[in-house]
Structure 1
């Protein structure tokens, strides 16, 4: 693959900022066509589909953030000269071609592509049919910026494939694919994993848990739970399950206060058998599948546990490995929880809503990876490269 200079990549991004700003009215107008045709029964998907002035501003901000970051390609990881005189240098290198498959969110067409492009990758975008008008105009913006700077439109391309065609493309791609990143729900991720013939980086389900320890500060607890659940219900970092230690002082009164706070925020509450004996007006969990479910809605589970160990076991059994939090004033207890919970991000006395590239100092992100290879957590610019060894000899042979 041809390596582009940092200068030319940054010029493309400078052009994109101007073009997106100039076309903002047309982008929002195209998005309205998608919104008008969308069935609003899936509120979370609808929220992700919306492009307004704030979303356009967010696209521009993402491009500018990536533009000012250092080029991640060609950086020396290690540089060794062996006793034989053989010189071995390990450098960062592009993946090659990255396919990004995503549902609903047109801003991914900008925010994901800008990261992959700055990391010198060719990008194939497969958006959902519900966002077709939005994605088409954003692709036009990319192509204008590329051509304006003397580059081929092929660097960033929107795939126009139906489900069956996408399935066949994954199995037998018409061009080399080096990495696939699915952005969406479990059905999409499973579809890609079942059919892909190359590496897949999983941006997994949320289904995030929060454990309230016996010594938790209750004022902090209420504030964190409310934020994590209601700040953005369509976010993969939103809270779904709350495990409460039954030995909390004034247990019943605090449960009823939490119930009041959540109801006031229009959150639908499900409870386990034990908490159901106290909050008798709430619906009880009917099947185990609920524990595995990412809600993406104003819905939450409240359940009772007797210890930190029980909470950790439950989280590691059911969570999506995305984010988990503990509310406690005991730093040792927090450390134990954070070390033992198997999630990409673990929190002490803080909302899970911070699992985000911008909030974590990574900048714009391609996804939140719940895989352990090659990277876990926010997938930013520095993580969109692989590596390559450069070996320099002078007629060296191995004996």
Structure 2
């Protein structure tokens, strides 16, 4: 759900003083919004189908966590060089390349599953797709400010997040139905097809260049390692991005495996079918839809600090309640609360990075941010699912919930607590 954390002095139009068109009057934005909505619908199929495929084949929640962890490791390692690639490459072509690559990788699963069910293929294909997912996510964050105006970034992110949530709302339920009738592998095949449509659609989107010539010359001087450290240094020097990265690292460790936990809770502890798993996750995406409509107003009224801290504090409370729930209906409501909170916090975080980061550094800063705060995610997914298998879902959720609330409230003592940390001067630095 997918997804999603996500992440200037962003546009030549903004720098030249020209008034950018309204969001809905911008054809490039409309096309980009449309193809990403379709891609999100496909993502929701794999979001449900891959854990179900592993669970059907192995019956093990630990194996589910292993696939999640391997994908996370692949994404983190890719993050070490993803920002450099994005800042050097033609970003539209890179988006298309990553879509085609994921299309081919995911298409392998249903094709092979016709003849056999080798689990090694899942362990190979899904992490490989994670490599291209990370490249896409970094490029995606840099593209949004290159399509819309600087004052439209938060609204655009909200719209994109909202259409993603809307497409995902029915996706998990439909994926659960397809998985029940045709098997999880067929649902993964549908995701492969949507990547192809997304790649074709991006072909028609015009993306303004953003200082990539300067970025290329810097890479040639410093090398890939040096350029990755440029992003790290920018994060560390910023009074808000620095504590944000540290706290998100801890939060990611705790929450990375929550989807697996919810699926295991509904499927095994509560004894419901795959279709019910899909409906529960679909109910959860309603929270994402609400977050997309509310995020711009929430941030405008409360400011960044209160929005981010409050969202994660409520998220921790919802996880705690999840551990005490024995009703599928309540689990669905709590899943919606979880995604509402992470939607608010994630959109605010991504928008802030886009606002304060110079355009030619945005790829490297985004990659450094995601690589750093995601580093503990795979370990967390393995630890959370192992804890669920060992001490049960209830105890695991109670521990995660209390920890998330405490970490979120710690943000009050850091630069995150600032109401308006946006600093236009930093964008032009």
TM-score (norm 2): 0.27
- Which structure is richer in relative contact order (CA contacts within 8 A, separation 6 or more)? 2
Larger gyration radius, structure 1 or structure 2: 1
Higher helix residue share = 2
When normalised by structure 1's length, the TM-score is 0.29
